[in-house]
């Protein structure tokens, strides 16, 4: 079942994709329609919109999973107050899921669950890593904040 820290990491990454998407759209506005630069910006915007859509779908699936499991703890939680899980913990869970996959019978429910966990943890790790990278860039260049 997804944890609150995972949701926070996913929403942080979603906001990053939206910011990048907006920047690509702004670049598209500033160049000649049909130019090479316009096409590059349009391709970037299209890719970012696909990523944002996929990310939104994953968040929806996670939310439905929490609701289906009757997670009462989540009812009074706001993601803005949640700190994402540390990357070393995510990585440890990811490695554990890989070990479960290696020891599970191929095609078994255990193997299927391990694959799903690996994909989810890989995405959480990526989101957390991207958020840390963005934070580090902001610390290096204070003009990037606000």
128, 84 contact by CB (below 8 A)? yes
38, 28 contact by CB (below 8 A)? yes
User: Tell me: the pLDDT tens digits for 15-69?
Assistant: 888 888 999 999 999 999 989 999 999 999 998 898 888 878 877 887 787 777 7
pLDDT bin (cut points 50, 70, 90) of residue 14 is confident
User: Tell me: the pLDDT tens digits for 81-95?
Assistant: 666 677 887 787 888
CA distance 141 to 35: 31
Question: What whole-number percentage of the chain has pLDDT above 70?
Answer: 82
Report the pLDDT value the prediction gives residue 22, as an integer from 0 to 100: 92
Task: Give the residue numbers spanning the domain of 127.
Answer: 85-146
Instruction: Verify that 78 and 137 share a domain, yes or no.
Output: no
CA distance 22 to 45: 8
Q: pTM to 2 decimals?
A: 0.52
Instruction: Verify that 63 and 128 share a domain, yes or no.
Output: no
Average pLDDT value for the chain: 80
Choose one of 42, 62, 82: the last residue of a domain: 82
Q: How many domains does the chain have?
A: 2
26, 67 contact by CB (below 8 A)? no
DSSP letters spanning 45-106: HHHHHHHHHHHHHHHHHHHHHHHHTT-GGGGG--GGGPPPPPHHHHHHHHHHHHHHHHHSPT
Instruction: Verify that 76 and 15 share a domain, yes or no.
Output: yes
Sign of CA dihedral 111, 122, 2, 15: negative
Instruction: Verify that 57 and 103 share a domain, yes or no.
Output: no
Mean pLDDT of 106-118: 88
Instruction: Verify that 1 and 53 share a domain, yes or no.
Output: yes
Q: Report the phi/psi class of residue 39: left, alpha or beta, with left for phi > 0 and alpha for psi in -120 to 50.
A: alpha
């Amino acid at each position: 079942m997804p944890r609150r820290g995972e949701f926070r990491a996913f929403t942080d990454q979603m906001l990053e994709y939206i910011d990048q998407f907006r920047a690509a759209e702004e670049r598209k506005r500033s160049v000649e329609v049909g130019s090479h630069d316009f096409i590059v910006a349009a391709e970037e915007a299209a890719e970012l919109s696909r990523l944002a859509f996929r990310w939104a779908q994953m968040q929806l699936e996670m939310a439905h999973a929490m609701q289906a499991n009757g997670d009462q703890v989540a009812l009074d939680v706001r993601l803005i107050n949640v700190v994402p899980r540390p990357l070393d913990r995510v990585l440890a869970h990811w490695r554990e899921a890989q070990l479960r996959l290696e020891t599970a019978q191929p095609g078994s429910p255990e193997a299927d669950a391990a694959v799903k966990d690996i994909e989810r943890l890989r995405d959480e790790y990526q989101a957390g890593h991207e958020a840390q990278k963005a934070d580090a860039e902001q610390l290096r260049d204070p003009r990037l904040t606000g």
